[in-house]
Amino acid sequence: MAMRWWSRGLGLLPVMGMAVACGGGAAGTEVEATASLEQGVEGCREVTRYEESDLPVNDDTYVSADAPDTTFGDSTKLVSDGNPRQEAYLRFIVTQHTGFVRARLRLNVLDGSSNGPALHATSSAWTGSSLTWNNRPAPVGGALANVGALLSDSVVEYDVSAHVTGPGEYGFVLLPEVGDGTDFASLELRALRPRLVFTYATTTTECGTQGTGGSLSSVRKLGGVNGEVPHAMATDPTGGYVIAGDVGNLGTLGGPANNPEGLLVSRFRADGSHQWSRSFPQASAGTWMQVEGAAVTPEGNVLLAGEYFGQPDFGQGPLPGTSMGTGGIFLLKLSPSGQPVWAKAFRAHLDPGGTRPHQVFRVAGVATDAQGSLILTGSFRGFTDFGVGQVDAGESTRREEQPTTGAFLARFTWEGQLSWARVFQAGQSNTEGLAVATDSQGNIVLGGLAGDGNELGATVARTPFVVRYSMHGALDWVRRLEGSGVNGQVTGVAVLPGGAVGFVAQAYGSIAYAGGTVTTNVGGVPDLVLGTLESAGTDRWLRAYGGTEGEYPRRLVADAQGNLVTMGVFHLRSDLGGGPLNPTGGELKAFVAKYGADGSHRWSRALNETAMDPVLLGMTPTGETWFGGMLSSAEEVGGTVYTPYGSSDLLLMKLTP
């Protein structure tokens, strides 16, 4: 199944003392729980982390009673045996290691014993090239540590924390206790040589939530024996919602776990109960489809759009074929009960006749309006035909080296017929449509990034923009985010009360706005940039949030009062307006944050993105937030650790206003 660009690494391990929710037993699994803000990593807490550093032995040897004048400093092994009597010596010079909380002697066992030797301190005034049985130093005091039986080809550790307390020279001797002695690797075996291992403790304050609100009202984990990868979510006026994504064989996004591998669409009622699921299996290894956007019409129909190759069939006959790595997009309408109503497909080509290979064609955003129309945006290269003749993405999109992309915005009727389409040709840099929304009058708001050479009016590459069109496709206004060194993209748009427009961008530079300047990060690291425009397109307010490492918002929704909720990922640590966020985990963290109608921070919440890939965002009629994505490893949420049943599951959280 297809994965998105962001990398993922090791996820969180289950934490002792916390509940663990994971799959098991049945072919599918659903786990639902409630949690409070004070549990787990949701608030701020002191966390102690442990790291290790090691020091290789400086000298080692062994001595033997039956060869009292012989040295063994060049031997590849250290022998401690009771018959004949043999004793192993080690010497360490500790200089830079300070502030550790534990010290251990780590040895590789070459030949095991029924009872390993005891470790004692001794003088360090010897060398392996001169030490013999006759001149060996005596042990000092009682045993520092002891072990039991030792297996061959294993590793053993002696805790020497009470003896090794800081810089200095340390001598050790291993005294046998049985006649079937032990052979350890010496420094002559470089990869296996003895080492002192030092453990360091660092205590930091880690925060998962800031602000007031955003506490968990429920958490749902859905999945089957194979992987589930959610891609899109849409809510309806009743509080219900639809989730679409990829599933493996016997996968589920809710409901029975008996679906074939392919695309799955699941619908839920406002109380979270499963209403129906509709699966569209991959017909063959050469078929692939991925939903990238969804919307629910006022009548309850479900509109989906995405990308495909091969010839998938949504119940209306096979789509026109494309090959792997080439461009094709699909539109699909399902009835309120999940039955296919119609399906459309479009392809892009290098030439107007469509005889040369299909080109990049991407879907980025889907919306609907009061008439049940399907509004679609994205980007493509070359030529395409939405149903009224060829359109061109721009000459630069067809060049062999570093081709660009042009953008499109299209409106289709509830019957699937094209109303109109606008294409924004690329100049020397990309133009992309990334987010779309509609207001109560049917006006269409589009956000993305603009290059030069089209009606969006940008003069430099990667100019973030918001533009509004009438329901008939006439340009109302365009607002570009410009200034000194501005670079970025608008990734989410939302319609606010009175026809105002909210938008979120990932951008850097100094942005001229509302008669002033909003300065973000510099040097190529974007901030979360949140703003609003009046219905006429004039500036209302603009704010930048974030730290020095980079914030990447992906979606935006709004409630009836004009409050804004956005989600995405940030790098390492961030401040989204309420204080530091730095939960345990990898380099990328998933976040969801809510802001007031004036842009003031309400609350922000962060998770370990290496475990959960955030792609789902929705708003209930009562102002609660749906937030979720693909869970690929253990993730702590509200004091419970959720673990995927298969390779990945769906994790969905409901957050209070």
| pLDDT, tens digit (0-9, with 9 covering 90-100), for 309-318 | 888 889 888 8
Dist. CA 135–CA 143, nearest whole Å:
21
DSSP state, residue 286: T
**Selection from 57, 134, 56 nearest residue 89 by Cα:** 57
| pLDDT, tens digit (0-9, with 9 covering 90-100), for 78-108 | 999 999 999 999 999 999 898 999 999 999 9
pTM of the model: 0.78
Which helix or strand (DSSP H or E) is residue 640 part of? Answer: strand 640-643
Same domain, 436 and 293: yes
Tokens of 42: 């949701």
Same domain, 315 and 459: yes
**Selection from 405, 459, 455, 474 nearest residue 434 by Cα:** 405
Tokens of 314: 């949504």
**Is the pLDDT reported for residue 651 higher than 80?**
yes
pLDDT-based confidence at 380, cuts 50/70/90? very high
The one-letter amino acid at 285: A
Dist. CA 251–CA 257, nearest whole Å:
5
Tell me if residue 553 falls in helix, strand or coil.
strand
Q: Give pLDDT, residue 410.
A: 98
Dist. CA 622–CA 511, nearest whole Å:
34
Same domain, 183 and 299: no
Q: What are the C-alpha distances in Å from 87 to residues 25, 184, 224?
A: 54, 11, 58
Q: In this predicted model, which residue has the larger pLDDT, 637 or 425?
A: 425
Same domain, 411 and 308: yes
- What is the Cα 147 distance to its own chain's centre? 44
Dist. CA 510–CA 482, nearest whole Å:
8
Instruction: With respect to residue 375, please indicate whether it lies within any of the assigned structural domains.
Output: yes
Q: Give pLDDT, residue 646.
A: 84
Dist. CA 529–CA 526, nearest whole Å:
9
**Is the pLDDT reported for residue 128 higher than 60?**
yes
Q: Which of 141, 176, 202 is the last residue of a domain?
A: 202
Q: Which of 460, 478, 496 is the last residue of a domain?
A: 478
Residue 99's domain comprises: 51-202
**Sign of the dihedral through C-alpha 613, 619, 623, 626:** negative
Tokens of 272: 């979270």
Q: What are the C-alpha distances in Å from 434 to residues 42, 89, 348, 367, 492?
A: 31, 68, 18, 12, 7
Q: What is the CATH number of the domain that holds 93?
A: 2.60.120
Q: Give pLDDT, residue 24.
A: 40
Instruction: With respect to residue 552, please indicate whether it lies within any of the assigned structural domains.
Output: no
| pLDDT, tens digit (0-9, with 9 covering 90-100), for 545-601 | 998 889 999 999 999 999 999 999 999 899 999 999 988 777 889 999 999 999 999
Strand partners, 513: 516
Strand partners, 628: 616, 652
Dist. CA 55–CA 195, nearest whole Å:
5
Same domain, 297 and 148: no
Q: What are the C-alpha distances in Å from 287 to residues 261, 321, 331?
A: 11, 9, 16
No. of H helices and E strands in the chain?
0, 49
Number of domains in the chain: 2
**Selection from 638, 614, 655, 609 nearest residue 9 by Cα:** 609
| pLDDT, tens digit (0-9, with 9 covering 90-100), for 216-253 | 999 999 998 888 999 999 999 999 999 999 998 888 99
Same domain, 311 and 443: yes
**Is the pLDDT reported for residue 3 higher than 70?**
no
Dist. CA 490–CA 333, nearest whole Å:
27
E strand map for 360-462: 361-367, 374-380, 383-385, 390-392, 406-412, 418-424, 432-438, 444-450
Same domain, 287 and 196: no
Asked if residue 249 lies in contact with residue 226, where contact means CB atoms within 8 angstroms, the answer is yes
Q: In this predicted model, which residue has the larger pLDDT, 316 or 376?
A: 376
Asked if residue 376 lies in contact with residue 361, where contact means CB atoms within 8 angstroms, the answer is no
Asked if residue 254 lies in contact with residue 271, where contact means CB atoms within 8 angstroms, the answer is no
CA angle centred on 12, ends 8 and 17, rounded to 5°: 170
For the beta carbon of residue 203, count every other beta carbon within 10 angstroms. Answer: 8
Instruction: With respect to residue 510, please indicate whether it lies within any of the assigned structural domains.
Output: no
Q: Give pLDDT, residue 38.
A: 35
Asked if residue 484 lies in contact with residue 499, where contact means CB atoms within 8 angstroms, the answer is no
Instruction: With respect to residue 409, please indicate whether it lies within any of the assigned structural domains.
Output: yes
Percent of the chain with pLDDT over 90: 73
**Is the pLDDT reported for residue 207 higher than 50?**
yes
Q: Which range is least confidently modeled, 18-22, 483-487, 550-554, 585-589?
A: 18-22
- The helix, strand and coil proportions of the chain, stated in percent and rounded to the nearest 5, come to 0, 55, 45
Same domain, 159 and 290: no
Same domain, 290 and 438: yes
Residue with tokens 């509709």: 278
Instruction: With respect to residue 272, please indicate whether it lies within any of the assigned structural domains.
Output: no
Give the end-to-end CA distance of the chain in Å, rounded to a whole number: 34
The one-letter amino acid at 579: G
Asked if residue 596 lies in contact with residue 602, where contact means CB atoms within 8 angstroms, the answer is yes
Name 399's Cβ contacts closer than 8 Å, sequence gap at least 6: none
Same domain, 71 and 192: yes
Instruction: With respect to residue 541, please indicate whether it lies within any of the assigned structural domains.
Output: no
**Is the pLDDT reported for residue 324 higher than 70?**
no
**Is the pLDDT reported for residue 5 higher than 80?**
no
Phi, psi at 518, each rounded to 5°: -110, 120
Asked if residue 551 lies in contact with residue 545, where contact means CB atoms within 8 angstroms, the answer is yes
Q: Which of 448, 478, 508 is the last residue of a domain?
A: 478
pLDDT-based confidence at 283, cuts 50/70/90? low
For the segment 120-128, the average pLDDT, to the nearest whole number, is: 97
Same domain, 196 and 296: no
Instruction: With respect to residue 594, please indicate whether it lies within any of the assigned structural domains.
Output: no
Q: Is 357 exposed, middle or buried (0-12, 13-18, 19+ CB in 10 A)?
A: middle
Instruction: With respect to residue 441, please indicate whether it lies within any of the assigned structural domains.
Output: yes
Q: Give pLDDT, residue 325.
A: 55
**Selection from 634, 630, 600, 597 nearest residue 616 by Cα:** 630
Same domain, 192 and 304: no
